[in-house]
A and B are shown apart, each in its own frame.
Chain A
Amino acid sequence: QVQLQESGPGLITSSETLSLTCTVSGNSADSISSGYYWGWIRQPPGKGLEWIGSVYRSGSAYYNPSLRGRVAISVDTSENRFSLSLSSVTAADTAVYYCARSCSSTTCPFTHWGQGVLVTVSS
């Protein structure tokens, strides 16, 4: 069974760049190099889910239009992990950030989720 684990600083300062990593573990069929899309979803405290973006094993990524220009998602197949970078953060970016796996199509659901990491943006 594939497992995903987010890691990164829990507190960052406004205007800085948020950087998170999701490490994938499991058998070889579950690796980053397998034919899946890997995504980031966030949830501000007390609010709903917001999709941030997703990346394929090739490195091809697509993003939420509302975040385009500030976000980048990359994949590291050698380390079996993928990363999120969100620049110029403000208090509105305070949220629990989840990494998740879907399938080989952009229209698939997210079937496996990490436990989430709370990132707080302070001024």
Chain B
Amino acid sequence: QSVLTQPPSVSGAPGQRVTISCAGSNSNIGAGLDVHWYQQLPGTVPRLLIYNNNNRPSGVPDRFSGSKSGTSASLAITGLQPEDEADYYCQSFDNSLSGHVVLGGGTRLTVL
């Protein structure tokens, strides 16, 4: 299982707001290490969606936002659109075992 825990699936109707959680521990998110989020549309390469907890790369709509608190992080999507249907992954760094990148198991977002 993944070091970072995400719900396997979430869903919402167009226009609604959904959140995806990413639960970590005191050796990664809780240690103050940054969280990043990726979006993977069906059949495509993952693309960076949010970096350093709450920053959007150029070209990412402001409907996407990230937050972090304690040992967890969240990705929020407002004004849900059909094209948001994708898999979402969180990433951080873990200080244990000489340090390594950790990824969440991924969350499938379904737009109803």
- A residues sitting closer than 8 Å to B (CB atoms) are 39, 41, 48-51, 54, 62-65, 98, 106-111, 113-116
CB distance from A107 to the nearest CB of B (A): 4
- B residues sitting closer than 8 Å to A (CB atoms) are 2, 33-34, 36, 38, 40, 45-48, 51-52, 57, 87, 89, 91-93, 97-106
B93–A106 touching, CB < 8 Å: yes
B46–A107 touching, CB < 8 Å: no
What does DSSP make chain B's interface, helix, strand, loop or mixed? strand
CB distance from A83 to the nearest CB of B (A): 18
**Chain B residues within 8 Å of A39, by CB:** 101
A49–B46 touching, CB < 8 Å: yes
B103–A49 touching, CB < 8 Å: yes
A116–B97 touching, CB < 8 Å: no
**Chain A residues within 8 Å of B48, by CB:** 109-111
CB distance from A25 to the nearest CB of B (A): 16
A115–B100 touching, CB < 8 Å: no
Bound state CA distance, A106 and B100, in angstroms?
A: 8
B103–A50 touching, CB < 8 Å: yes
Bound state CA distance, A2 and B93, in angstroms?
A: 24
**Which A residue's beta carbon lies closest to that of B50?**
A109
Bound state CA distance, A116 and B100, in angstroms?
A: 22
A113–B101 touching, CB < 8 Å: no
CB distance from B28 to the nearest CB of A (A): 10
**Chain A residues within 8 Å of B92, by CB:** 107
**Chain A residues within 8 Å of B97, by CB:** 65
Known: A65-B97, A113-B45. A48 touches B51 (CB 8 A): no
Bound state CA distance, A39 and B52, in angstroms?
A: 18
B57–A111 touching, CB < 8 Å: yes
CB distance from A42 to the nearest CB of B (A): 11
B101–A54 touching, CB < 8 Å: yes
A113–B100 touching, CB < 8 Å: no
B103–A106 touching, CB < 8 Å: no
